[in-house]
């Protein structure tokens, strides 16, 4: 393995990209002290790391993981919300950055494998959904606490969620903000496979090695065709979904939500 490249900062919190023999690349979300939450700088770094892989002709497969073993990713760093998402304009800018980062992962033409230790929640779950395969250890947890914060999950992320877990599971996740166990994640097809914690990294490394040894053009063609099969949507309904998401970013409930999270209190939402 070569010395990792750092994006979004020279040290944690940042994004690290490492090259391994055989065309295997590893992108690490490196903010373990905050369950690998993504700061603004890290969102930019993740987009840059994905772009570096996209422009690397030797890349065959990507492993995406969080640093340490307590969390894959807990989504955006809520500690930055008060300063970076206080107005609609700021929210639009922040959302554009994180969307670009996640889209960078989604648009990679090579297979992307998520290694999920511990918590995979909120935007972290969305990021895992951008991957092609998700290997998870049995003590892992998934969930989407958007309703607790008064924010909206991106309609594009929700489409990926429905594509993977189905309508009913998506509604259960969104309408309750519960945390769910790894066995539920597997039953909903979010987790491709559950693997014992001590064997998870080795299992993913072997899957990546097998994938990297296959014909690259064949895998790119398969990935493109599979993705294209899920692209149909109603434009009018889609625009309505985006508008409702934007309204969340300028609502009083959103401010109540992140302030309650910051103060560790229970918010009382008023629907405005």
The domain tally of the chain equals: 1
pLDDT at 233: 63
Judging by DSSP bridges, how do beta strands 112-116 and 141-143 pair with one another? unpaired
Q: 253 and 150 in contact (C-beta within 8 Å)?
A: yes
Any domain includes 55: yes
CATH number, position 100: 3.90.226.10
Any domain includes 152: yes
CA angle 179, 244, 89 (to 5 degrees): 100
What is the full per-residue pLDDT of the chain (272 aa) written as tens digits? 678 899 988 888 999 999 999 999 999 999 999 999 999 999 999 999 999 999 999 999 999 999 999 999 999 898 888 787 778 888 889 889 999 999 999 999 999 999 999 999 999 999 999 999 999 999 999 999 999 988 888 999 999 999 999 999 999 999 999 999 999 999 999 999 999 999 999 999 999 999 999 888 889 889 888 888 877 666 676 677 777 777 777 788 777 777 887 788 888 877 67
Any domain includes 257: no
Q: What percent of the chain has pLDDT over 70?
A: 96
Instruction: Report d(CA 134, CA 185) in Å as an integer.
Output: 10
pLDDT tens across 18-56, in order? 999 999 999 999 999 999 999 999 999 999 999 999 999
Any domain includes 69: yes
Question: What domain range is 98 assigned to?
Answer: 5-196
Q: Enter the tokens of residue 171.
A: 């509604």
Any domain includes 205: no
Q: Which residues pair with 62 in a beta bridge?
A: 25, 112
Q: Enter the tokens of residue 170.
A: 């998506």
Any domain includes 88: yes
Considering only CA atoms, which of 270, 265, 257 is closest in space to residue 145?
257
Say which residues have a Cβ less than 8 Å from residue 258's Cβ, sequence separation at least 6: 78, 81, 82, 85, 149, 150, 151
Any domain includes 154: yes
pLDDT tens across 220-242, in order? 889 888 888 877 666 676 677 77
Any domain includes 71: yes
């Amino acid at each position: 393995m070569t010395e990792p490249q750092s994006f979004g900062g020279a040290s944690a919190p940042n994004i690290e990209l490492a090259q391994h023999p055989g065309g295997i690349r590893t992108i690490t979300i490196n903010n373990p002290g905050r369950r690998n939450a993504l700061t603004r700088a890290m969102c930019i770094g993740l987009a840059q790391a994905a772009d570096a892989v996209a422009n690397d002709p030797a890349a065959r497969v990507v492993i995406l993981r969080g640093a340490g073993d307590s969390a894959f990713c807990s989504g955006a760093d809520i500690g930055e919300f008060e300063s970076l998402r206080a107005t609609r304009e700021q929210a639009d800018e922040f959302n554009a950055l994180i969307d670009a980062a996640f889209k960078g992962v989604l648009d990679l033409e090579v297979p992307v494998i998520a290694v999920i230790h511990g918590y995979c929640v909120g935007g972290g779950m969305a990021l895992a959904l951008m991957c092609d395969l998700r290997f998870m250890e049995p003590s892992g947890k998934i969930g989407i606490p958007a309703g607790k914060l008064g924010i909206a999950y991106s309609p594009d992320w929700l489409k990926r969620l429905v594509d993977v877990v189905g309508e009913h599971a998506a509604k259960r996740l969104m309408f309750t903000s519960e945390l769910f166990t790894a066995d539920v994640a597997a039953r909903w097809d979010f987790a491709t496979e559950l693997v014992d914690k001590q064997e998870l990294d080795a299992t993913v490394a072997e899957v990546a090695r097998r994938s990297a040894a296959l014909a690259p053009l064949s895998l790119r063609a398969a990935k493109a065709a599979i993705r294209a099969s899920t692209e149909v949507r109603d434009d009018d309904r889609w625009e309505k979904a985006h508008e409702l998401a934007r309204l969340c970013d300028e609502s009083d409930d959103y401010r109540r939500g992140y302030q309650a999270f910051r103060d560790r209190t229970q918010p009382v939402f008023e629907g405005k």
